[in-house]
Amino acid sequence: MQHDTFAIILNREYSTERYIGPLSRIETEILIGPFQTAPLSMVPKPSRPEKVQLVQNLSYPLHPTDSISSINSAIDSDLYPCTWGTASTICLLIWFLPPGSQAAVRDVAEAYRMIPLHPSQWPGLVVKTGDDSFTIDCSFCFSFLASAGTYGEVADAGADIFRSQGIGPMSKWVDDHLFIRILQEHLKTYNAL
């Protein structure tokens, strides 16, 4: 079961050109130089347990040695600021909505995976797929410490574009966007508020 699921994930990533490979170790080193792999897990998605999320444990090893450290240990997530619609923000937003307002939530599918990595980052995101089989991951992934903030900057820009076009109020949490529609009769009063 897990092997079949992993094969499906690999095929999808190859077909979307987010993975380069499969390659031997020598072919990989010729393309990108020395590289590092990380343990893989397939974690069921909370909202859809029949679906899994491939997770590269880029925080491994948890206790670095002089010769081996994790990819994430070299990343300062504070360098990737973005805004988040926290639960208290959303509650406050909803509290002040006028009667008849409507809301919709939209999820951005594979949000992190749509952002390409710079080729200089590829050596840290190689996936081992067999005994002498490797794949270069060319996109941000779920466990990469910079992924949330980097995608957050893209999502912030998108939210700013929506707002500049009069779409709102709205908020977001990672790849989930909340759009609210206010009845025309309440719009002037709400905007003043």
pLDDT value of position 69: 87
pLDDT value of position 73: 87
Closest to 189 (Cα-Cα) out of 96, 103, 92: 96
Check residue 131 and give left, alpha or beta (phi > 0: left; psi -120 to 50: alpha).
alpha
pLDDT value of position 3: 82
pLDDT value of position 101: 94
pLDDT value of position 23: 97
Please report which helix (H) or strand (E) contains residue 132, including its range.
Answer: none
Tell me how many degrees the CA angle 17-19-22 measures, rounded to the nearest 5: 120
Closest to 125 (Cα-Cα) out of 6, 117, 23: 117
Which parts of the chain have pLDDT scores under 50?
none
How much is the pTM?
Answer: 0.81
Closest to 36 (Cα-Cα) out of 72, 79, 9: 72
